[in-house]
Structure 1
Amino acid sequence: MLKAKDIMKTNVLAVAADADIYRAIRIMVENNVTGLPVVDENRMLVGIVTEKDVLRLLYEIEDRPGAVEDFMTRSVVAYGQEDAVTAIAEGLAAHHFRRVPILSDGTLVGIISRKDIVKHIKQQWLTQSASA
C-alpha cells in the first residue's frame, strides 16, 4: 500500500498565524502555490490560508493589513504520514481541495497536492508501459 510518506513533499512552505496577510500572499505568488499551512512555533498545524481565503481582500483593502489568522481556515482536513494515498486522493476529490497537510503527531511534516498524485499515476503508467 502506497502511503503519504512515500510521495509527500517534505520541504513545505508554511506561515505563522500572526504573520502579515500580504506576506503570505507574496509567498504564495512567488512560489506559485495556491495555499499555505499555518503553523505555530512548534510546527503544529493551526490552519491553512489559501487564495480563496484572501479573495475578500479585493473589497476590504484598508491601511490595516491584517494577520493570516484573520483570513485562514481553522478547520483543516489533514492526513497522517502513514495514511494510504488512495484515501488522500478520495479526500481531495470529495472536498475539492488542491492540497492537504501531512502530519506526524499534529506536527506538519509534509504536503500532498492533487498534482503530486497525478504525477505518481503518470510514473506508474510509464513504468508499466515500459515493462509491457
Structure 2
Amino acid sequence: MTLKDIIESNSCELIKINHSGKILDAIKLMKEKNVSGIFVVNEEDKLVSIFTERDIVNCVYHNISFDEILENIVRKDITVFDPFTPLSTAISTAVRKKIRHLPVVDNDRIVGMVTFRDLVTHLLPEICYIAETMY
C-alpha cells in the first residue's frame, strides 16, 4: 500500500493558503475546514510549506502575533513525499523526523496530505488481525 492509496480513499479537498496570508487567516481556515494542517503556497500555487496545529502552539509559546505573515514563520525545509511512497517508508520517515503531516507532491503538483492518523486508520485492521491471531 502507498500514500496514493490513502489519498484516493480519503478524497479530501486540498486546503491551501497563500504564503503572504496571516497566521490568523490560516487558523480560521483550519477551523472552518476542520483540519489540523494546510498547505502554504506561493503565487504560482507551488508548495512552500505546511501550517499545522504544532505551528499554532509554537506561535503562542513564542508570543508571535497572529497578524504575522505566514512566510515569516513557516519552515522552508519540509519533507515531501511521492504518491508511490510505501506506507512503511512513510511511517519510518515520519517517526524519525517527528512529523505528523505528510505532504504528498507529484511533479511539483500538490496531490494531498496524509496525517499520521490516516496511516493508523488504514493499518488498524491489519494490526488488530495480527494481534488477534498471535495471542
Q: Give the alignment's TM-score, normalised by structure 1.
A: 0.80
3-state DSSP class of the match of 1:90? helix
Q: Who is 1:56 aligned against? A: 59
3-state DSSP class of the match of 2:25? helix
> Which residues of 2 match residues 1-132 of structure 1 at below 5 A?
2-8=1-7, 9=10, 10-54=12-56, 55-57=58-60, 59-61=63-65, 65-125=67-127
When residues 3 and 60 of structure 1 are mapped into structure 2, their CA distance, relative to the original with a 3 A threshold, is closer
Question: In the comparison of the two structures, how many residue pairs are matched?
Answer: 126
Q: Deviations over 1:31-84 (max 9, x none)?
A: 34332221234432111222333333462438xx12211111111101011111
Q: Distance in 1 between matches of 2:72 and 2:42?
A: 15
When residues 42 and 124 of structure 1 are mapped into structure 2, their CA distance, relative to the original with a 3 A threshold, is farther
Given that 1:3 and 1:83 are in contact with CA atoms closer than 8 Å, whether structure 2 keeps it comes out as yes
Residue identity opposite 2:93 in structure 1 = G
Q: Distance in 2 between matches of 1:114 and 1:101?
A: 11
- Unpaired runs of 5+ in structure 2? none
Report runs of 4+ in structure 1 exceeding 6 Å deviation: 126-129
Q: Which structure: greater helix fraction?
A: 2
3-state DSSP class of the match of 1:56? helix
Identity %: 22
3-state DSSP class of the match of 1:7? helix
Q: Deviations over 1:84-121 (max 9, x none)?
A: 11110111111111111000112111111111111111
The range that moved more, 102-111 or 30-39, is 30-39
Residue identity opposite 2:122 in structure 1 = H
3-state DSSP class of the match of 1:49? strand
- Unpaired runs of 5+ in structure 1? none
Q: Give the alignment's TM-score, normalised by structure 2.
A: 0.78
